Structures are given as C-alpha cells and as structure tokens.
Amino acid sequence: MLRSRQKKINEKMHSEFGNLKTDSFDFEYIESYFRKKNHFEAFQTLTDKTCNDMDFQELFMFIDRTNSKVGQQYLYNKLRNIPAHSTENIKNERLLDEFTNDTNFRVSVQSQLNKLNDRDVYYIATLFQDEILKPPKWYFIVRLLSLASVLSFIMTFFTPIFFFVILGLSIINIVIHFWNKKNLNNYFSSIPKLSKLNGVAQELFKNDILKEINPNLKKSTSILNKVNSRMSIFNLDAGLQSDQQMFFWLIMELVKIVFLLEPLFLFGTLKRIDTKRTEIEDVFQFVGEIDAIVSIASLRKGLNNYCIPKIIDKQKKLFAQDVYHPLIENCVKNNLKVNEKSILLTGSNMSGKTSFIRTIAINVITGLTINTCFAVHFSMPRMCVFSAIRIRDDLMNDRSYYFEEVMTIKEMIDKSKNKNLNLFLLDEIFKGTNTIDRISAGKAVLSALNEENNIVFVSTHDIELADLLKNEYDLYHFSEIVDQITIDFDYKLKEGKLKNRNAIRILQINDYPESIIKEAIEISEKLDKMTLAKESQCEHAE
C-alpha cells in the first residue's frame, strides 16, 4: 500500500515538472522567514514598495515550483535579496543541469522534500528566529514535584499508602500540566517538524553532488540528532493524537500528568534548541537551497525562452534581446540597448509603457537572484532596483498623492549618490501636479538620477520633457493604430519620441459630441502653433 502510494507521488512529480503549482499561497507564512532574517550580506534587499510595483506576489506564484514549505520560504527570501556576487548562482548551474537531465535523481530528491510540505513546517524557522520561551522563576517546583511523584510511585510497591500521596501530588500536577499546555501548543507544530527536517537533510546529504551545497552540514545534523531524543515525546504525542486509539492517548496523558513529563521535556528541549540556532538554520538553508534549485529547474523547463544573464562589470549598459514579461500571456517580445544613456518612454495609455518598465525590472531581479531571465539574451551590471510606479494617497497620515510621490523620489535621489549602480523606474513622474511644474521639476530630477552609472527608465506623456532630456536619455515610444472604429496596440518598442497624437481621435470613435471634438481640435491646433513659435524663437536666440 505504502509502495503504491509512493509510486503515484513519483509519477505525479514526473508529470508536473515544468508546470505551475495548483496550491494556495499563504504569504503571511511564506514571507515570515524573510521578514525576520538579517540581510546584511545582501547587495540589496528589495523594498515592499518595489515589490508592490512589480506585482511580486504574482511573480512569486509563477516562479515557485518548490516541493516543501522550507523551500518555499527560502525561495521567497532568495528572490527578495540581490546577492553581492554571482559565484553561488554559477555553482548551482551544475546542479540545475542534473535535476533537468536526470529524472530519477530529481524525483528521488523531490520525494524527500515532499515530506516537508504540510503547513506546520512553516513554523520551523521560528525555532532559530524567534525568542525561545524561558521557564518561569518557580520552575524548580516542577522538578521537585516530578521527583516526589517518581519516589512515591516506587514506594507504593513497599508501602501502599504512598498511592494516596501520588493522588495528592497529581491534583497539583494536573494544574501545572494544563498550565503548560499553552506553552506546548506554541511549539507543537515546530518541534516535531524539526526532527523531520533533520532526517530529510541527512538523506539528501548522502548524495555527493548535494554535499557541495554545504560540505560541513554533517556537523550540524549530528548535533541536532542529539536533540532528537528530547524531541521524541512530541513526535510520539503527535502520532497518538492523530493515529492511535483514544485509550492509548488517555493512558499516555495520565502518565505525563503524574510525572509532569511535558513541562520537563518542553523546557529541556527548548533550552537545547536555544543553543543550536546556527545548526538549525544551517540545515534549514541546506534543504531550502536544494528545493529552490529544483524549483528553478522546473521553471526553466516550463518556459519557451529563457537565458542565463551575462553580468558586466560596473558599466552603464544593458542589452536585451526578445525580452518579455513572464506574467503576460503571449507577451510581445522587444529588444533594447542601453549604452551610457537612460531610457525615456512616450506613448498613450495602455500602449505598453509601464508593462515594459516592469519587464526590464523583473528580468533584472530574476537574473541577479535566480540566474534566469525571460529573454533570448540579457546582459547587465549588478544593480540595486528602486521604483516609483504605484503611488497612492496616504489618507491615514494625511498625505496627498503628490506628497507621497515627492517622498518616494527623494529616496531615489538619496540612493543615487551611493557607490552602487542603481536602476530607477518611474511611471509618469510628478503627474500629481500642474504641467509647468511637472515638466520643469521632472527634467531636473531625471537629470540628477541619470548621473554617475545609474540607469533610469521613465515613462511620460509630456513630449516637452522628451525634448529637454534628449541628450541624456535615449527616446523610445509605444504607439497604437486608430482606424474608423477600433484601436489596436502592437506593443512594439520603437525608437524616437511619439509624434502621433490620437487622444482626440479616440474620443471621436467613442461617440463624443461633435461640438466637443471640434473645440478640442481647434485648441490643439492653437497650442501647436504656440509651441512652434516658441521653438523658432529659441533657435533664433541661439
């Protein structure tokens, strides 16, 4: 029966490799390891603001093909942290090839990882990230009562009257036992799973190629094996409550009450665990890294096109061939070359400007974190990523849209002065203010952000802004085709600024009153003449 069940699991793993997960995603638990982890070694930790701008949760659900909850938490953390070096990604490519080409090896690894796929596994990280519960000051009474119960039990074989002593002690012990239940429940999900995690790690470590991830892991697993003896009571109790008959559970519960086994084992185990945080995290990261690599291999298997990025050294250059957004079905692919200038995009709403900005950002993030880009070719320097795309009024703090935008871009300006290369992403800069201020302030800010080796991607409707920045920014645009009754977008990136203006024509085909259309055209023509006159005056002045 067990062998038949395992065979079905293996067949499922084989058939689902390369496909999206059908599981539900509980991001409160998925993110918990990331939220509590120290990221001081990372080149950059992506902010919540940037992740929100990139639809990061949807991106994670697309990328995540992990088999365990440990791997899921680890992969989320991996995607949120750009590493300082590429050595780890390069080292993992060999293992990625093994998982892709050797089906039996991969399925055997997945079978081990799948043992850590139930919800309680999310709590393992709390054992090395959270403060461990300490025993109360009166805890010595628990030891004394337990010892008295043991001695009284022994003495009943010689003097039956001690049976009544045990009953008296049990009345006190039952109060302490149920007081401790709350403490026990806090760890009943995590401690049994720690034992299972250690067992899975030991099985995976038997494979020579997996040992390369952490050659010193055996030291950590051996230390945790010594803790396992104290953890056994949690494993036994969990099994009894779920699988054994109520009678045996009741006998077990009585024994634990009489001798106060639960508080003794709980605080004894917690004391040991508190001194083994490093070893627990070593084992957690070993299993998580393996599962993350399996997930990346599955992701690549399911893609029609992907590439391993080329990381260039501290240059203001970015090259993308047939790059696409992984979350957009049948996404139109585009080419782009950034060479010592930043990029300014013009185009109407829905033409693809913002989606393209996100496309570049997502490829930078996945390229630097999981060594995978959604393109035929993608090369870039190692960069920090900052964005100002989704900005909303903060009514709780009495902040307007414009003030929120000002504060977000101020943070970008501060970051632009650091020694790192930065990628700045902006959508419709300062659209919360009037035209003159928007253009003048936007030009000054975008010139400042473009300094050093920073790369800026910005979209705008302001053609004047494109003219002011043409020496610092390469101009590209997206356009649409408007005929008598329809509007079609090709989503192809084109060089130069947008020259066609179709806003009034779109009003017309949507049956706006003819009087409105006529007046709009007349005003547009007057404004065009004024603009041409100003440009002519500037040319004569020069």
Domains of the chain: total: 3
Single residue among 287, 302, 317 that ends a domain in this structure = 302
Single residue among 302, 334, 350 that ends a domain in this structure = 302
pLDDT band at 240 (very low <50, low <70, confident <90, very high): very low
Whether residue 212 sits in one domain with residue 150: yes
What 3-state class would DSSP assign to 324? coil
Whether residue 313 sits in one domain with residue 217: no
What 3-state class would DSSP assign to 426? strand
Whether residue 268 sits in one domain with residue 209: yes
pLDDT at 86 over 60: yes
User: Going by DSSP bridges, is the β-strand pair 377-380/310-311 parallel, antiparallel, or unpaired?
Assistant: parallel
As beta bridge partners, residue 422 has: 384
Give domain status of residue 52, yes or no: yes
Whether residue 482 sits in one domain with residue 397: yes
Whether residue 369 sits in one domain with residue 478: yes
For residues 168 and 15, the model is more confident at: 168
Give domain status of residue 492, yes or no: yes
Whether residue 241 sits in one domain with residue 132: yes
Instruction: Note the pLDDT of residue 254.
Output: 87
pLDDT band at 417 (very low <50, low <70, confident <90, very high): confident
Give domain status of residue 166, yes or no: yes
* Interacting residues of 442 by C-beta distance below 8 A, sequence separation 6+: 429, 430, 460, 462, 465
Single residue among 302, 336, 366 that ends a domain in this structure = 302
pLDDT at 540 over 80: no
pLDDT at 70 over 70: yes
Give domain status of residue 150, yes or no: yes
For residues 190-207, give the mean pLDDT.
94
DSSP string, 214-241: -TTHHHHHHHHHHHHHHHHHHHHHHHHH
pLDDT at 243 over 80: no
Token pair 């990523």 is found at 385
Whether residue 393 sits in one domain with residue 316: yes
pLDDT at 484 over 60: yes
Instruction: Note the pLDDT of residue 91.
Output: 82
Q: What is the pLDDT of residues 132-183, one digit of tens each?
A: 999 999 999 999 999 999 999 899 888 888 888 889 999 999 999 888 888 8
What 3-state class would DSSP assign to 38? coil
End-to-end CA distance of the chain: 89
User: Going by DSSP bridges, is the β-strand pair 384-388/310-311 parallel, antiparallel, or unpaired?
Assistant: unpaired
Q: What is the pLDDT of residues 487-519, one digit of tens each?
A: 778 899 999 987 766 777 777 777 888 888 888
Q: What is the pLDDT of residues 305-325, one digit of tens each?
A: 999 999 998 889 999 999 999
Whether residue 269 sits in one domain with residue 315: no
Nearest to 471 by CA among 447, 449, 491, 489: 447
Q: What is the pLDDT of residues 20-40, one digit of tens each?
A: 998 899 999 999 999 999 999
- Token pair of 32, please? 């918990």
- Token pair of 199, please? 């067992």
Instruction: Note the pLDDT of residue 279.
Output: 96
Whether residue 519 sits in one domain with residue 484: no
Neighbours of 483 (CB within 10 A): 9
Whether residue 346 sits in one domain with residue 239: no
Give domain status of residue 7, yes or no: no
pLDDT at 295 over 50: yes
Token pair 């050659």 is found at 215
For residues 296-302, give the mean pLDDT.
97
For residues 439-457, give the mean pLDDT.
94
Instruction: Note the pLDDT of residue 395.
Output: 47
Please give the Cα distance from 93 to 496 (Å, whole number).
39
pLDDT band at 202 (very low <50, low <70, confident <90, very high): very high
Give domain status of residue 507, yes or no: no
DSSP string, 115-172: GG-SGGGGGGGHHHHSPPPPPPGGGHHHHHHHHHHHHHHHHTTT-TTHHHHHHHHHHH
Q: Which domain holds residue 251?
A: 13-302
pLDDT at 14 over 70: yes
For residues 231-256, give the mean pLDDT.
63
Whether residue 393 sits in one domain with residue 293: no
Instruction: Note the pLDDT of residue 188.
Output: 80
Give domain status of residue 212, yes or no: yes
- Could you give the percent of the chain with pLDDT greater than 90? 58
pLDDT at 352 over 80: yes
Give domain status of residue 5, yes or no: no
For residue 483, the domain's CATH number is 3.40.50.300
Whether residue 324 sits in one domain with residue 259: no
